[in-house]
Chains A and B, each alone.
Chain A
Amino acid sequence: MTTSFDQNLRLAFSPLHRLQWEESQQKHVILYPEGMVELNVPAAEILKLCDGTRTLNQVVIELEQKFETSGLHDDILEMVESALENGWIRTLS
């Protein structure tokens, strides 16, 4: 499967955005200048692991272990690509 980024690179959250749990909304949100995106649970689980220490495959393995399931690769890839396009995360070279 071809992707828009080098899968050997670690994924890190953007320094220009902030990921935060919002108690009053009971959900994670991404904050940036004058804006906010509300995240569903799967998206938040993926983005929390994009902390500069893991590659895409390591994120997949960790979440499959955590939720005792398999076959998450394609869904996670889709979310990661969309997060990269939105500038929420970046790859570390």
Chain B
Amino acid sequence: MAGSEPYPSGTPRWLLAELTYRCPLQCPYCSNPIDYAAHSNELTTDEWKRVFSEARAMGAVQLGLSGGEPLTRKDLPALVEHARELGYYTNLISSGYGLTEEKIIELKTAGLDHIQISIQAPEKTLNNYLAGTDSYEQKKAVAHLIKQHGYPMVLCVVIHRHNIHLMREILEMAIELGADYLELANTQYYGWAHLNRDALLPTREQFETAEAIAQEYKLQLKGKMKIYYVVPDYYEDRPKACMNGWGTTFLTIAPDGMALPCHEARILPGLNCPNVRDFSLRDIWEKSDAFNRFRHFDWMEEPCRSCPEKTKDFGGCRCQAYLLTGNMNSTDPVCSLSPQRDKVQQAIDEALQISLKDSAEPLIFRNSRNSKALGESSSQ
């Protein structure tokens, strides 16, 4: 019976502050929107501080300082200091590129709790190619400095067809750098990754080989390094419980102040996400149409609507449903019960065909020039 099942109600626990879309790297799987260059009106220092204060008063406790590259914000230490005074656990989610020892110390003094850096590949040439920037040696040096200054460190490596064969080398690199946590993030196909999917999506065989290696290290490193393995959902039978349920736990604020129930949600047409410049966070969380749109189960279509698993996965990801089927209310097509599961199979088949060609599919790198060109062509 629709509407009678309990839906988790809650206040935001996780605030993701995307401080800027500016970034010195050009990763072709970036999760920022493709038209990011059109949203350059960044919140001011005082506006961010107000957002942090309001979310903390509602119960948010984890704060992600992300981007783009958050280090490009000159006020980062001031924002960290404010957040720490409010009692947040402050996570800097950075590429590591441009981080200096001086900055590491300054942020520590300001109260920063943890630094996550990303490395694109465990070898210089490939790393620099994927990042679009000569950054490999500097990132490795930064990783050592982060540990020297006593931070817990998460090393994030996004996994795709260009580096999945290097899984063992990635794990060895994480050990060498002294990472406390290794996030092996199989690419999620949104934003720039969706644009480049044919060139990034590995085969099932590649996934299985890589996953077996990751599991082997997970056992071996128990108690020393935690490994988070983000599953590749195109090869799963059931969708992920996206965002732990829409509007239950996560709140993302985009650089221009747009409040989003998930960081991809600005692609959903007609969602009309509110802006923190116009409304209080409490009004946004409790009253806005955008945050209420996919709460509960009444919006669901079949087969989700009568499915006993809907309280577990909430029908999967709305952005993935929209990107693959054009309908944001449909069942996430990674679900084997979805009547449109063939869309996922089609994507897998197309990527496989392209991987078998002699010449490699060119990657479209994430930069302002490409963003402006693609943004204009999509709005015509």
Contact = CB atoms under 8 A, between A and B. Distances in A.
Interface of A: 15-16, 18, 20, 22, 24-25, 29, 31-36, 85, 87
A22 B116 CA distance: 24
Given A16-B180, A22-B61, A24-B58, A33 B114 contact: yes
B150 A31 contact: no
Contacts of B114: 32-34
A36 B180 contact: no
Interface string B184-211: 0000000000000000000000000000
Interface in B60-91: 61-62, 64, 87, 89, 91
B98 interface: no
Contact of A32 (B59, B152, B223): B152
A34 B154 contact: yes
Majority DSSP secondary structure for residues of B touching A: loop
Range class of the B interface residue count: 10 to 19
B123 interface: no
Contacts, number: 43
Nearest to A14: B152
Contact of A20 (B58, B87, B91): B87
Contacts of A34: 62, 64, 91, 114, 116, 154
Contacts of B62: 31, 34-36
Contacts of B340: none
B89 A18 contact: yes
Interface string B341-365: 0000000000000000000000000
Given A25-B59, A34-B62, A36-B61, 17 more contacts: A15-B150, A16-B180, A31-B61, A31-B62, A31-B89, A32-B89, A33-B91, A33-B114, A33-B116, A33-B152, A33-B154, A34-B64, A34-B91, A34-B154, A35-B62, A36-B89, A87-B223
